[in-house]
């Protein structure tokens, strides 16, 4: 399929429920035919938003008793644990945060398969010992009929305890 070929009706692609609820043009009752590039850009933007929400949501259950194994995959366990308690420096803590991010994405973002998260760098800020961790997220976006490799540059500002996610445009 040409990268700019219109998506045909037999290959209908619908936006997520949230994206349809956030409709930019509510007066239009029927969606027009989309170009592949427009679909990918819209999906990339919604993934950035959703990944940012996932990574910035504090997990409110720290430990789950073994007898409640079903809770581990539920919304009660959505998000990441508190990262303020992890001392940020080269090495093990950065790898630990990478695994936490990777596991959260695999668990709660079904549009992404083959997720790999790798630390990119630590930047020392100029204000009050500010540190920013950078991660690279690689995956395959799977929204039938599309299968497209995607890349996200992600950073964690330890002074604000906040993630930012940018997609590869």
CATH number at residue 146: 3.10.450.40
pLDDT, position 87: 65
Name the DSSP letter for residue 88.
P
- pTM for the complete prediction? 0.74
Residue 47 lies in a domain: yes
1 pLDDT band, cuts 50/70/90, is: very low
- Extended beta strands in 79-160, E state: 112-124, 131-143, 146-157
Q: Which tokens sit at 116?
A: 């790999």
Rounded to 5 degrees, φ, ψ at 118 are -130, 140
Rounded to 5 degrees, φ, ψ at 153 are -95, 125
**pLDDT tens, 60-100?**
777 777 888 788 778 888 999 888 766 665 566 788 899 99
* Containing structural domain, residue 144: 32-167
Residue 4 lies in a domain: no
Residue 66 lies in a domain: yes
pLDDT, position 107: 93
């Amino acid at each position: 399929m040409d990268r700019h070929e219109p998506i045909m009706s037999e290959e209908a692609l619908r936006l997520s429920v949230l994206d349809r609820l956030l409709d930019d043009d509510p007066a239009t009752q029927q969606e027009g035919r989309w170009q592949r590039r427009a679909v990918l850009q819209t999906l990339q933007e919604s993934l950035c938003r959703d990944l940012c929400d996932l990574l910035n949501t504090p997990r409110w259950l720290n430990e789950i008793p073994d007898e409640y194994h079903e809770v581990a995959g539920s919304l009660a366990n959505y998000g990441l644990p508190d990262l303020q308690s992890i001392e940020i420096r080269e090495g093990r803590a950065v790898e630990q945060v990478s695994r936490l991010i990777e596991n959260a994405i695999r668990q709660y973002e079904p549009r992404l398969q083959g997720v790999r998260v790798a630390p990119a760098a630590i930047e020392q800020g100029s204000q009050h010992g500010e540190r920013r961790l950078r991660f690279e997220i690689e995956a395959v976006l799977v929204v039938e009929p599309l299968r497209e490799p995607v890349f996200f540059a992600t950073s964690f500002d330890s002074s604000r305890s906040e993630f930012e996610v940018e997609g590869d445009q």
